[in-house]
Amino acid sequence: MQSEFWFEPLTPVSFLRRAATIYGDNTAVVDGERTFSYRELLDRSTRLAGALIDLAGGKAVAILAPNSHALLEAHYGVPWSGSPLLTLNIRLSAPELAWIIDHAEAAVLIYDSSLSTLAHAVSDIVDSRMKLVCCGGENDEYEQLLAEAEPRIQPITDENALLSLNYTSGTTGKPKGVMYHHRGAYLQSVAMATQMRLENKSKMLWTLPMFHCHGWCFTWAVTAAGGAHICLRSVDHTEIWRLIDDEGVTHLNGAPVVLNSIAYGDAAHGLVPPRNLLIGTGGAPPTPTILARLAALNMDVVHLYGLTETYGPVVICEWQRSWDSYDAPRRARLKARQGVCNIVSQPVRVLDANGDDVPKDGRTMGEVAIRGNNVMAGYFKDPGATEAAVPDGWFRTGDLGVLHEDGYLELRDRSKDIIISGGENISSIEVENAIASHESVLEVAVVAVPDDRWGEVPVAHITLHPGATADQADIERHVREQLGGFKVPKRIVFEALPKTGTGKVQKFALREQWRQKLQSPDLTV
């Protein structure tokens, strides 16, 4: 441990202590009918830490909850207790969640009362010694826990220590635990606060799940700026617009499905200047149509790119003033590019098969490689996967792209078999494995197909055993028994699969078939 007067370990939880000191009476959290000031948020978070010091004993603390005050409090209270934070995707199935909890060796599961059935199903699968704490409802154990606890914390002395575990879908089908450290989360939060222009008057509407990369680290970034967290437990365009109007929302983040919901919902209306709403979006690039629609509502969209392994957005489409004079189609093309490194990352590279940089010509494709302060510490209990992902000091994203002359990155394809649907990562191999376990299935290939609402959706192409029978409903039911509902293919095609001369399925051919089909105005997935 360093003790020099010029050194203080970096940790994102320090933002809360500062905010409580400077903006103590300001609104920190709005969650339905409940509102907490920054002073109250600090008190509740340190009480949570005090309770977990004894309850978890330094082992991981999992939380299964929608966007809520408890999930936000966990982002401060859990690290202050000396335990790693494990935020769980509420859309996963009980077996999937149980595998993650078991792999992370979690000692405590805090769950929202609305997810009680799921939480107890998980508990039935994992070690019964795991402690369960219900938040909300008639039996609010969480509030009782805080009321009985003393505010106390475990000092954070090592900025490189494990802060949290974030599980990501991988091409192996089993999720990998991405390790975040305090330093990386602190710096990523500073980058997000700076580049998304957050201030103490900002009001962030939580349309993005807090459990996803800690809401791209905005769980800490908003607090760093002294802004307000406006919780949204589920995406509903009417409720989004109510909160935009009633709470004076200034910022929100979301996948294409969220942008479409805002732009085309029945409650949509223009904001009266000088009021403006800044929206961060990732996954599929925003289309010219949606950009024009949101601009007409006085909303500005910032295109971001990142992965779970990079604490969320590591690349931002930094807007240049000179672009303002371009016509709308050209501005849309520029905004659809992923962009340049954020302020705490190293410049992004695009590498050829030999590991050499490709020319900045906007044409030569290569694999996107990233390094810097906001790259993971590695995969939990999986050094082999870590070494494979970082073979030479640069994290290989598996994404394929080009660099333009101005240094801006533009993605062209993904070499990993990952489908991004509604902001959620879906491993096509994981879905294929679930389908292949059906007794009638001989072989299967799952591909991403563009979708106006979700960005992408999984579509399955299946060949059945000779003489076997199964229909779409059979396959859907079989997948739902194993995986979260959002992973169930939106369409299933029963046919022989295209293959190479060596027998390998040609997924690119299936994707091309769908590209051509979707050019027909009458066809939707």
Q: How confident is the model at residue 127 (pLDDT cuts 50, 70, 90)?
A: confident
* Beta bridge partners of residue 253, listed in sequence order: 280
**pLDDT tens digits for range 390-430:** 999 999 999 988 999 999 999 887 666 778 888 887 878 78
At 13 the pLDDT is 99
- Cα–Cα dist 48/135, whole Å: 12
Q: How confident is the model at residue 171 (pLDDT cuts 50, 70, 90)?
A: very low
> Out of 207-221, 452-466, 500-514, which region has the weakest mean confidence (pLDDT)?
500-514
Report all structural domains of the chain as residue ranges with CATH numbers, in order of start.
339-372+393-412 (2.30.38.10), 416-517 (3.30.300.30)
pLDDT at 271 over 50: yes
At 107 the pLDDT is 97
Q: 172 Cβ partners below 8 Å, 6+ apart?
A: 427, 429
Section 163-167 average pLDDT: 98
Q: How confident is the model at residue 524 (pLDDT cuts 50, 70, 90)?
A: low
At 525 the pLDDT is 62
**pLDDT tens digits for range 436-447:** 889 999 889 999
At 478 the pLDDT is 95
- Cα–Cα dist 253/206, whole Å: 7
The mean predicted confidence, pLDDT, of the chain is 93
Section 486-511 average pLDDT: 84
Q: 374 Cβ partners below 8 Å, 6+ apart?
A: 184, 187, 188, 191, 310, 311, 314, 342, 344, 345
- Cα–Cα dist 388/423, whole Å: 25
> Out of 51-65, 275-289, 322-336, which region has the weakest mean confidence (pLDDT)?
275-289
Please give the share of the chain, as a percent, with pLDDT higher than 90: 77
pLDDT at 501 over 60: no
The secondary structure of 367-421 as a DSSP string is EEEE-BTTS-SEETT-HHHHHHH-SSSSEEEEEEEEE-TTS-EEEEEESS-EEEE
With contact defined as beta carbons under 8 Å apart, do 159 and 10 qualify? yes
pTM: 0.86
At 502 the pLDDT is 46
Section 128-137 average pLDDT: 93
**pLDDT tens digits for range 10-33:** 999 999 999 999 999 999 999 999
pLDDT at 233 over 90: yes
**Which amino acid is located at 140 in the chain?**
D
